[in-house]
Amino acid sequence: MASLPKRIIKETERLVSDPVPGITAQPHEDNLRYFQVTIEGPQQSPYESGVFQLELFLPDDYPMEAPKVRFLTKIYHPNIDRLGRICLDVLKTNWSPALQIRTVLLSVQALLASPNPNDPLANDVAEDWIRNEDAAIAKAREWTQLYAK
């Protein structure tokens, strides 16, 4: 295996020494490009008090290519589909090598605080969200209680 680029080592060290509040990211023992991530649901969002598990993988071309991030915990959110895939511009077309693991995870946390049903990935969820926002938020809260522990 090729050795780990210094940038990844630095980022990993900083994630441990100076963690982002509400976010943890730990590299896998056998593969230092694979991280187990937890994100706390933001306060005053339907995901409040939930702890969501994610996986993050740094492809060989990182940082020229964005990290791959996916929810492992089931979540009811218009921009996250049932496979946990996330619709977020900085993970796709708006990626920049000036971004880092921590900034990407902050963006994901911000997406939990502000769901955007007008740019959906999970179409059925987005439709529910637009049709009856209160009911959708209640369901998101319910799923948080059920799955994000």
Closest separation in Å from C-beta 16 to another protein: 16
Query: Does the protein bind another protein through residue 134 (CB under 8 A)?
Result: no
Closest separation in Å from C-beta 123 to another protein: 25
Q: Give residues 52-91 in contact with another protein (rule: CB under 8 A).
A: 60-61, 63-66
Indicate the helix (H) or strand (E) that contains 7.
Answer: helix 6-17
87 given a catalytic annotation: yes
What value, to the nearest 5°, has the Cα angle with vertex 143 and ends 141 and 146?
115
Q: Which residue has the tokens 């994901």?
A: 108
| Residue of 44, 96, 134, 149 that binds another protein (CB under 8 A) | 96
| Residue of 89, 97, 145, 146 that binds another protein (CB under 8 A) | 97
Query: Does the protein bind another protein through residue 17 (CB under 8 A)?
Result: no
3-state SS string over 19-67?
Answer: CCCCEEEEECCCCCCEEEEEEECCCCCCCCCCEEEEEEECCCCCCCCCC
| Residue of 83, 93, 114, 149 that binds another protein (CB under 8 A) | 93
Structure-derived torsion over alpha carbons of residues 131, 136, 137, 142, reported in degrees to the nearest 10: 170
Query: Does the protein bind another protein through residue 28 (CB under 8 A)?
Result: no
Residue ranges that bind another protein, judged by CB under 8 A: 2-7, 10-11, 60-61, 63-66, 93, 95-98
